[in-house]
Amino acid sequence: MENASPLHEVLYVSTLSPDSPVKVVSQIAAKARLANEASGTTGLLVFDGMRFCQQIEGPRKAVLALTERILLDPRHVNVEILHHGPLRERRFRRFSPGYVVTDDVDVLGRMQEAGPEQAMAQFLALLPSIDLDS
């Protein structure tokens, strides 16, 4: 499954565009599932009703190409990369979309304010409160 390109990961938060209905989220997730499998990209895309937070991992070239497309996607705004860099081994076995289910309404908003060191740790700490779609 791995090719010669070293593993890389990206973590960002963004906000659903005011012009986008919430139903685009399931459309994005359905397409991403197929495309990510084809490119060997795994990770987690979470949505809380307003914000997205996504970790993308896989061969560096595939991750960077996908990140560029995502940055240009008009369905979300205020895309902010919280962390990016090389990765020794994958954190996830596949790509999953999920929904953040927590009483803490602005957990993704606060991640945006976290420093790059803390952002990944905060994201991983979210895992128990994510309702995974698959």
Ligand X SMILES: Cc1cc2nc3c(=O)[nH]c(=O)nc-3n(C[C@H](O)[C@H](O)[C@H](O)COP(=O)(O)O)c2cc1C
Q: Does 45 bind ligand X (CB under 6 A)?
A: yes
Q: Does 73 bind ligand X (CB under 6 A)?
A: yes
| CB 50 to ligand X: min, Å | 12
Considering only 52, 107, 126, 130, the residue that binds ligand X (CB under 6 A) is: 52
Q: Does 83 bind ligand X (CB under 6 A)?
A: no
Q: Does 64 bind ligand X (CB under 6 A)?
A: no
Nearer to ligand X, 58 or 120 (CB): 58
Q: Are 1 and 83 in contact (CB under 8 A)?
A: no
Applying CB under 6 A, the span of 68-76, 82-90, 103-111, 121-129 interacting with ligand X comes to 68-76
Half-sphere exposure of 57 (CA within 13 A, CB side): 20
Segment 7-36, which members bind ligand X (CB under 6 A)? 14, 28, 32, 35-36
Q: Does 69 bind ligand X (CB under 6 A)?
A: yes
Q: Are 126 and 107 in contact (CB under 8 A)?
A: yes
| Rounded CA separation 9/57 (Å) | 4
Q: Does 51 bind ligand X (CB under 6 A)?
A: no
Enumerate binding residues for ligand X (CB under 6 A). 14, 28, 32, 35-36, 45, 52, 54, 66, 69-70, 73, 75-76
